[in-house]
Structure 1
Amino acid sequence: MTSAVGKLLDRVPPLTSLPLPRSVDRRWLTSHGPVSELAPAPEGLKPILGDPGAPVIGHSLSFMRFGQEFGLQRFAEFGPVSWMGAFGNRIITVSGADATQAVLTNKDKAFSQEAWQFFIGKFFPRGLMLLDFAEHHMHRRIMQQAFTRDRLTGYVAQMGPTVRDGVRALAADPHPRLYRALKQLTLDIASRVFMDMPSGHDADAINRAFVDAVRAGTAIVRYPVPGGRWAAGLRGRRTLEAYFGRNLAAKRRHDGGDLFSALCHASTEDGERYTDEDVVNQMIFLMMAAHDTSTITSTTAAYYLAKYPHWQEKAREESLRLGDGIPDIEALESLQTLELVIKESLRLVPPVPTMARQTVKDTELLGFHLPRGMMVSVSPTANHFDTAHWTNPHEFDPERFAEPRREDKAHRFAWMPFGGGAHKCIGLHFGMLEVKALLHEMLRHYEWHVPAAYTARWDYVSLPVPVDGLPVHLVKR
């Protein structure tokens, strides 16, 4: 190490007691360009240290391959605020409970959602997650009318038969790739609850278009090359716009129980409503935000239930006590063991591994200087594995969320799978209910197992998914 680089690294702040990752080849993770300062810092502030990684792509492939372990390694090496090259940009990475709290609560309005435009703006324009400040507040107030208690009760009633039929259909394959099976089922649920669309050819076409739009966001080649992800995503977006545009007038005339109808008729106390264009944009955004996160969460929880059969049996006993009827919202909320398992799964594998922001002015974060116009990536990884907040954080231990331990209360941002601040996930309660409904039906109908030596490996090309699709042995009860 040169003396110049050594001096730079000497200025890295002391780390917390965060454990280092245990299961990766560190030689691959730590191969990077020379450590340097992002930009000169004003007097009294610290410069941000980091490195560019490989030419053009930077550390993109490192993150996609190692995800969580890569984030932990960067935190251990550089501390809570650093920079790296990725996707052709210099990106400031923010980790740790105090740093993420400062960014996500955004008290001085220095951080905007503009960074999301780079990743998904072409496919989910004007979605709630991409809006800022007063405009975001207005759109969120309207959308909140689609997630009231009465609406959630109706969504649960709608999804129940689809969930039960879909879970029963899993019996056709005793050795499924569970992620793929659950992805299809959550797409069917989204079609039914969001659009009141039954399964069939039209639903399959909409589902394919939606998947293409989601996958395009992390394309390395960000140009509509024929056959590429970007081109497929643009085509998927056009398909979705055409579908919602064709059906919007009918939804305006009749207030049904689906989310599409709810957005068409949502209104604040001040009479603010969505335009037709708003409804289309928010519907496509909500399909993205709700579907993938529910698929990943249900898959992750199913994996840990397979890996730890005593927890599977404990959750099953609770589900069987509900009887044979399709559970309503109160019944699902009563499944406390399942809720502990889901929360621990969200801690270990958060379905949204990064949250993008952009600085709209020079600002300060934990004594570091952040220049205007920088892309900022906020990650829950370090927060979820910090021994300052969690006991043995690499272990699966759902009891950490139960009284009296409640380790998630150690810091407001110790556990943040749904983000935080003004942009905290608006559908988090619906998502928990959907995942509970899926796992409840699985527990009633099956036992499932993985080999004792099996450990899932997660691919972060888009959002975390099991590389092998999560093969399980499914036994009908």
Structure 2
Amino acid sequence: MSMALPSASVTPPKRNSLKHIPGDEGWPLIGHTLQILADPKGFIEKRAQKYGLVYRSHIFGETSVVLLGPDGNELVMFDQDKLFSSEHGWGSILELLFPRGLMLRDFEEHRIHRKALSVAFKAGPMQSYLAKLDRGIAARIAQWRKQPGEMKIYPAMKQLTLDLAATSFLGADIGPEVDTINRALIDMVAAAVAPIRRPLPGTQMARGVNGRKRIVAYFSEQIPIRRVKGGDDLFSQLCQAKDENDKLLSAQDVIDHMSFLMMAAHDTLTSSLTSFVGELAAHPGWQQKLRDEVMALRLAADDPISSGELDKLPLTEMAFNEALRKKPPVPSMPRRAVRDFSFMGFAIPAGTLVGVNPLFTHHMPAIWPDPDTFDPLRFTGEAQRARHRFAFVPYGGGAHKCLGQHFAYMQAKCFARHFLQNLSVSLPQGYKPEWQIWPIPKPRDGLRVVVKPV
């Protein structure tokens, strides 16, 4: 079932219809694209200072309106009046590579598919994923422990999250195809943010489109097999998922959802865990507090961890949240207005590309005093209750809130347990990491850290 949007509602409005919004268009054709790519945080903060929390800009070939702060996040993410299309916001970025993923569906169709997919994130399957994650992380940390000294944590983390996605999403016995799938996924993710948007020969987009063909071929071959034999991995769970009429999801739907979920799971988690380790390396006092919390579980190195034991790591979760606050894995989120709306006194027409910005919200001094300081105590229960509910939005919000949020916390705490139980981490003398913040934060040089056995 699809809830079609009227075609007029997703056609960009005439440029003059946005002239009343504060802002400017920047350079001819390219607008502010180069400036926002060079320094997304600084650019938006300067715009907010100059124009306020609602402003007009021209990036990636189109004039858009940016709504900043928790109220803007709530209007767009919670979307009580169904004013904003995620499909027509993300479409130009993702449609060639991850078409019809959950983020590229809207309203009733999105609700139906989200409900069908949620079966893969229920308690039973999650316990199975935890067991596989626990074993996979333990094995990888044991390797790191055998090679103390300086390492680049980002590529190591990327390999770890790819391996974990393969085992918990596709099953431990996937075999040699795992390398092909991982390579295809890496090409698809890189193509999603490539400047050339057509799959011309030799371009990153062409490699991404070819990667999608390989993934589609693998899933197409596997779906009938998984439907017969079942399994407790996420792919097998989705192959058994049913819609509201008790019919299995189509093979194409399973393919689209799997490729999107694997992308969403591994790239954002690589970023989040890397920034988490970077903060621990820079703050030895907090690192020790978290290690004490992990050690209090009294688990031997090869003991499996349960979800109940993960719940006994509140400081670890708070520290992970603070890393997400400082470097949200999705720093900006696009939508397209499907009807006219108004915000903070500005009338904004249907068809307008609208952006919200978790990165800006997460650094507003009025909400987060001294926002560049790492302070996990911002996430005590009392502190969170005192804040606007859309002041902390690393997973989005509303109907499109990340379906894998609990999976991410489970993986982060499981990682923290093994990492802190086995290793201490610090930054090399005099080293200051530099980060590329957009489209997904990653350290420019891989983030050099020094690891030692505890």
Normalised to the residue count of structure 2, the TM-score between the two structures is 0.92
Q: Could you say which residue in structure 2 is the equivalent of 1:275?
A: 250
Q: Could you say which residue in structure 1 is the equivalent of 2:201?
A: 226
**2:366 is the counterpart of 1:388:** yes
Aligned pairs for 1:438-477 within 5 A:
438-451=415-428, 453-477=430-454
* Residue identity opposite 2:402 in structure 1: C
Moved more, 437-446 or 167-176: 167-176
- Contact 2:331–2:439 (Cα < 8 Å) also in 1: no
Moved more, 90-99 or 410-419: 90-99
Question: Which of 31, 35, 40 matches 1:67?
Answer: 40
Q: Could you say which residue in structure 2 is the equivalent of 1:110?
A: 83
1:263-299 alpha-carbon deviations (Å, 9 max, x no partner): 1112366525411111110000100111111111111
**2:162 is the counterpart of 1:187:** yes
User: Distance in 1 between the 2:288 and 2:65 partners?
Assistant: 44
Moved more, 231-240 or 87-96: 87-96
Q: 1:390 to 1:460 in 2, by over 3 A?
A: closer
Deviation at 1:198, TM superposition (A): 4.9
Q: 1:304 to 1:122 in 2, by over 3 A?
A: same
**2:125 is the counterpart of 1:148:** no
Question: Which of 254, 276, 295 matches 1:301?
Answer: 276
Q: Could you say which residue in structure 1 is the equivalent of 2:140?
A: 166
Deviation at 1:73, TM superposition (A): 2.1
Deviation at 1:366, TM superposition (A): 2.0
* Residue identity opposite 1:145 in structure 2: V
**2:98 is the counterpart of 1:127:** no
Q: For this pair of structures, how many residues does the alignment match?
A: 436
User: Distance in 2 between the 1:381 and 1:428 partners?
Assistant: 18
Q: Could you say which residue in structure 2 is the equivalent of 1:421?
A: 398
- Contact 1:63–1:460 (Cα < 8 Å) also in 2: no
Question: Which of 338, 344, 350 matches 1:366?
Answer: 344
Deviation at 1:212, TM superposition (A): 1.0
Moved more, 238-247 or 222-231: 222-231
Show structure 2 runs of 5+ residues with no match. 1-13
Show structure 1 runs of 5+ residues with no match. 1-36
User: Distance in 2 between the 1:210 and 1:141 partners?
Assistant: 25
Q: Could you say which residue in structure 1 is the equivalent of 2:72?
A: 99
* Residue identity opposite 2:155 in structure 1: R
Deviation at 1:386, TM superposition (A): 1.9
**2:131 is the counterpart of 1:157:** yes
Q: 1:184 to 1:200 in 2, by over 3 A?
A: farther
**2:314 is the counterpart of 1:336:** yes
Runs of 4+ in 1 over 6 A off after TM superposition: none
1:164-194 alpha-carbon deviations (Å, 9 max, x no partner): 1112222336211101100000000000000
Q: CA RMSD in A?
A: 1.9
Deviation at 1:336, TM superposition (A): 1.2
How much identity, in percent, do the aligned residues show? 37
Q: 1:351 to 1:466 in 2, by over 3 A?
A: same
User: Distance in 2 between the 1:38 and 1:395 partners?
Assistant: 40
- Contact 1:75–1:382 (Cα < 8 Å) also in 2: no
Give the 3-state SS of the residue equivalent to 1:90 in structure 2.
strand
User: Distance in 1 between the 2:68 and 2:429 partners?
Assistant: 33
* Residue identity opposite 2:366 in structure 1: A
1:62-106 alpha-carbon deviations (Å, 9 max, x no partner): 222222222222222222221211111212222111111111122
**2:28 is the counterpart of 1:50:** no
Question: Which of 186, 189, 195 matches 1:214?
Answer: 189
